[in-house]
Amino acid sequence: QVQLVESGGGSVQAGGSLRLSCAPSTAANRRECMGWFRQAPGKAREGVASIHTTGGGTTYADSVKGRFTISQDSGSGNSTVYLQMNSLKPEDTAMYYCATGTPSVLDGTCGLVRNRFKYWGQGMQVNVSS
């Protein structure tokens, strides 16, 4: 069972910043793709950003491009992944989930396709007030 340890959620005013962190509990739990998804009340879960942990390629949802940055720190061996969220908006309010999975067999990218990510964290609430 892959376990992902998440931290960093919370409340912030519009225009503020938060940084989310996610790390597999052991290096053996790491998969090639790490991603962030979010789900607002009454809405479907949507992809926010992903990163290929060996190739470094990233993907972003249009709604967060230019405001959010996904990155990784491999120095610890467990490859902690971060989501730096700047210029936050009330519409960014959601439960944020870290996930890990495998890249597309067609082009090797991670993308934001939910069913490619098979292991999920418990989720963290992010609230952005106006």
Q: What pLDDT is attached to residue 24?
A: 85
Return the top range by mean pLDDT from 33-37, 52-56, 116-120: 33-37
| Amino acid symbol at 36 | W
Mean pLDDT (whole number) for 27-39: 86
Mean pLDDT (whole number) for 74-103: 90
Query: Which is it for the CA torsion 72, 43, 95, 102, positive or negative?
Result: negative
Q: What pLDDT is attached to residue 76?
A: 56
Q: Which of 12, 29, 33, 36 is nearest to 88 (CA)?
A: 12
Q: What percent of the chain has pLDDT over 90?
A: 76
If pLDDT is split at 50, 70 and 90, which confidence band does 27 have? low
Rounded to whole angstroms, the Cα distance separating 31 from 118 reads 10
Range scoring the smallest mean pLDDT among 43-57, 61-75, 76-90:
76-90
Residue matched to tokens 């491999």: 74
If pLDDT is split at 50, 70 and 90, which confidence band does 3 have? confident
CB atoms within 10 A of CB 44: 8
Mean pLDDT (whole number) for 56-84: 89
